Amino acid sequence: MPTKIVVPELGESVVEATVGHWRKNQGDRVAVGDVLVELETEKVDLEVGAERGGVLARIERKEGEDVKIGEVLGVIEEAPAEEKAAAPGDETKPVEKEATVETVGTVKTVESVKTGIGEAGGRTGAEASAEEGGKTKRLVTPLARRVAEEHGINLSEIRPSDAAGRIRQRDVESFLQSRAPEAAAAPWPLEKPAPRPPAPSQPSTSQLVPGAPGSRPRLEERVRMSRRRQTIARRLVEAQHTAAMLTTFNEIDMTEVMQLRARWKEKFKSQHGVSLGIASFFLKAAIGALRQFPQLNAEIQGTEMVLKHYYDIGVAVGAPEGLVVPVLRDADQMGFAEIEKGIKEFARKASAGELTLDELRGGTFTISNGGVYGSMLSTPILNPPQVGILGLHKIENRAVPVEGKVEIRPMMYVALSYDHRIVDGMEAVQFLVRVKELVEDPASLLFAL
């Protein structure tokens, strides 16, 4: 009996998606749990798996098409009788054979496939392939392979922690951490996402267009924007059209924070397993200032403003397909180590495309750090329905007057964009001054919360 592959529930307020990349071709054999197709939504990418084994008989919706919840993506039919007969033991549930990496000769990655139990005289397919041709092969889970490919890692260098010898995602991440330089040098996100070429779901076309008379033709390339990029573009325009957005600036002397980090970074990292960056200082300072100026931790609903007496702080993180803002829930209840671990995990998930809808939903205030990319000064755009966003920038040594003398100090420009409909300029300026006071005297953070 044919089984329809339908668009699943996409999450709260998300009703439409775009067909990204079909992992299987029409006519391919599929097993239960195989990922068939990737769907792009405005928040996260989703994988749709096979609920039963058989053959992918038809693909109803092509890559790039928009689909809604419940619509049919394709059809799975039972495998032909001869294929069933050719697989003894097919009555047992197929098990996944992870991608394998040859450790003799040229190292290469083999795509993940499915195999049944009972092949090669009682050995599993993985064991049989591992012994084929006298070569030793290692098993690699698909997620570990994807993370390794994104970071250009040779899988033969990784030692698996699995008793069965499988290389798992955690092994790849441990290898990345072991070879990475001191993470404290990058405030946050701790790791810039590796640039990736357009995915198969973003087809491009190139063409030569005539230049000016007497000049050579010009090469242009058209790349379809992903649904997430389209959503980002739409929301940024909406933010400027629907809010009375203004930005105020200040500068912060980072001397005390930098000295405190230098004194405690080794002990902090050995005790908590994460580096002490600047993120936790600014997040704590922002919460202290929000308590004093609650209009910046609010939103407008009709003719009312909703003041929120909880602090779910959004952290802007660069991802390969565009900026995302995961949320640290009840950040006022978190310690420095919890904040740093949370932000580091968000950066990892954003790079690997693993952020969930729940992690991106909500938020009462946002902090964005353009300084990690070298930005000296910018005007951050509001993340509706929030009415405030704090922008951090690159720390630069500058000559500043200190008690009648000129000294070289590590300085940072900070920017606060706010919705002037419910936040007055005086409140915005005082908020930023309060953030400055708390960061320049880190000990005061103990009494501000």
Model confidence pLDDT, tens digit, residues 286-333: 999 999 999 999 999 999 999 999 999 999 998 777 788 999 999 999
Averaged pLDDT of the chain? 79
Each residue's pLDDT tens digit, 104-137? 333 333 333 333 333 333 343 333 334 344 444 5
Q: Of residues 28, 66, 309, 420, which has the active-site annotation?
A: 420
17 in a structural domain: yes
Residues 150, 81 share a domain: no
* Residue 430 domain-assigned (yes or no): yes
Q: Is the same domain home to 268 and 407? A: yes
The reported pLDDT for the residue numbered 424 is: 95
Containing domain of residue 134, as a range? 93-179
Q: Is residue 285 part of a domain?
A: yes
pLDDT of residue 82: 56
The CATH number given to whatever domain includes residue 343 is 3.30.559.10
Number of H helices, E strands in the chain: 11, 24
The pTM for the full model equals 0.59
**Same domain as 386, residue 247:** yes
pLDDT, tens digit (0-9, with 9 covering 90-100), for 355-389 = 888 898 889 999 999 998 899 999 999 998 999 99
**Average pLDDT score over residue span 214-237:** 77
Q: Are residues 171 and 304 in the same domain?
A: no
153, 179, 205 — which closes off a domain? Answer: 179
Q: Which two tokens stand for residue 414?
A: 């900070």
Q: What is the DSSP letter of 324?
A: B
What would the mean pLDDT of 404-419 be, rounded to a whole number? 96
Residues 119, 90: contact at Cβ < 8 Å? no
- In the predicted model, is pLDDT for residue 90 greater than 60? no
Token match 């922002």: residue? 286
Task: Give percent of the chain above pLDDT 90.
Answer: 40
pLDDT at 155: 81
164, pLDDT greater than 90: no
CATH code for the domain in which residue 122 is found? 4.10.320.10
pLDDT band at 88 (very low <50, low <70, confident <90, very high): very low
Find the CATH number of the domain harbouring 14. 2.40.50.100
264 and 123 together in one domain: no
The residues that bridge with 396 in the sheet, in sequence order, are 411
Q: Where a domain ends, among 86, 107, 129? A: 86
- 438 part of a folded domain: yes
Question: What percent of the chain shows pLDDT beyond 70?
Answer: 76
User: Can you say whether residue 230 is alpha, beta or left, with left for phi > 0 and alpha for psi between -120 and 50 degrees?
Assistant: alpha
Do 74 and 134 reside in the same domain of the chain? no
Determine the pLDDT at residue 162: 61
233 occurs within a structural domain? no
Q: Is 225 inside any structural domain? A: no
Higher pLDDT, 230 or 163: 230
pLDDT for the residue numbered 357: 80
Does residue 30 lie in a domain region? yes
What pLDDT digit, counting tens, does each position of 28-56 carry?
Answer: 898 888 889 988 776 667 788 888 888 99
The 8-class DSSP code of residue 164 comes to: T
In whole angstroms, what is the distance from residue 154 CA to residue 170 CA? 15
What confidence score (pLDDT) does residue 210 get? 78
In sequence order, what E strands does 371-421 have? 388-392, 396-402, 405-419
Is the domain of 398 the same as that of 352? Answer: yes
Q: Verify that 55 and 101 share a domain, yes or no.
A: no
* pLDDT tens digits for range 209-223: 777 777 778 788 888
Residue 157, C-beta contacts closer than 8 angstroms, at least 6 positions apart: 175
Same domain for 175 and 324? no
| Position 235 in a domain | no
420 tagged catalytic: yes
Provide the number of structural domains found in the chain. Answer: 3
| pLDDT-wise least confident of 63-67, 417-421, 425-429 | 63-67
Q: Which of 21, 253, 424, 441 is catalytic?
A: 424
Is residue 22 within 8 Å of 61, Cβ to Cβ? no
pLDDT at 142: 61
Kindly tell me if the per-residue pLDDT of 416 is higher than 50. Answer: yes
Q: Are residues 256 and 390 in the same domain?
A: yes
The predicted pLDDT at position 362 comes to 87
Using the predicted structure, report yes or no on whether residue 438 has a pLDDT greater than 50. yes
> In this predicted model, which residue has the larger pLDDT, 446 or 192?
446
**Cα angle value 350/352/357 (rounded, 5°):** 50
> Given this model, what pLDDT does residue 412 score?
97
Gap between the Cα atoms of 176 and 159, Å rounded:
12
Query: Does residue 75 share a domain with residue 101?
Result: no
DSSP letters for 259-294: HHHHHHHHHHHHHHSS---SHHHHHHHHHHHHHH-G
Which pLDDT value is given to residue 136? 46
On the question of pLDDT at 21 being above 50, the answer is yes
Whether residue 155 is found in the same domain as residue 63: no
The DSSP-derived string for 358-371 is HHHS--SEEEEEGG
Is 60 exceeded by the pLDDT of residue 87? no
DSSP 254: -
Decide which of 179, 201, 228 is a domain's last residue.
Answer: 179
